[in-house]
A = this chain, B = another copy of it.
Amino acid sequence: MKFTKVLVAEDTDSNNFGIVAKLKNLGIDTVEHAQYCDNAHLKIKKALLVGEPYQLLVSDLSFDNSNRKSKLSSGEELIEAAKTTQPNLKVIVFSVIDKQTIIKNLLDNLKVNAYVCKGLNGLNELEKAIEKVYQNQQFTCPVATSVLKQQNVLALNKYEQQLLQLLATGYKQNEISEHFKLHKIAPNSVRSIEAHISKLKDTFDAKTTHQLVYMVTSLGLL
């Protein structure tokens, strides 16, 4: 017993080709694919309408939509829309992204059934994921699993996120203060903003604020 109808959402054709070939290789009858989010969602709706719904969606997270006006522009949006359309659809995320916050969000909030990182053995891990998901179990590949286990991950809360965002956008400390007061975000005194920046420098072990901005940016936290 196995899945018989699967949809692959992945924009780069080389990857798409590889994934589809792999799935067919696993003996899945119907493997269809889409290179755009909107397209994928449409297929899901149509299949449901004619009474032949997909059982599984294998989706990437980032899509190239530079040349399109699209409603759905990311894997997250696609998954959310798909789950609304067809709540019983199983979802496996297959992506290069290995950021704890993103993986956590997908598993906890979007309730995806598995997360597999593209990599040296991505396809093998994808195979394992499909088996587990078919058995109604959750699955994360070794890379994702280890990322999820990491303690003390340098993560930013909403406030710090906003603060650093403004800093990176060219706001001075007093301008940030004014902006926060205007938007009723507290704490908003110049002194507190200063203190928070200082604390962030501590936790990130940055000598200067420039370095802090650099670190946070290159860690993908902004």
| Interface set of A (CB-CB < 8 Å, partner B) | 11-19, 21-22, 35, 64, 94, 96, 118-124, 126, 167-172, 206-211, 213-214, 217-218, 222
Q: State the number of copies, please.
A: 2
Query: A168–B18 contact, CB under 8 A?
Result: no
Instruction: Give the residues in chain B near A208, CB-CB below 8 Å.
Output: 167, 170-172
CB distance from A222 to the nearest CB of B (A): 7
Pick the residue among B35, B64, B118, B167 that contacts A12 (CB under 8 A): B118
9 further interface pairs, Cβ-Cβ under 8 Å (given A15-B118, A217-B218): A12-B96, A12-B122, A14-B123, A17-B123, A167-B210, A168-B211, A170-B210, A210-B213, A213-B217
Q: Which residue of B lies closest to A125 (CB)?
A: B13
CB distance from A141 to the nearest CB of B (A): 12
18 contacts between A and B (CB under 8 A): A12-B15, A12-B120, A13-B123, A14-B19, A14-B94, A14-B118, A14-B123, A15-B15, A15-B18, A17-B18, A18-B21, A64-B119, A170-B210, A172-B208, A213-B217, A214-B217, A214-B222, A218-B222
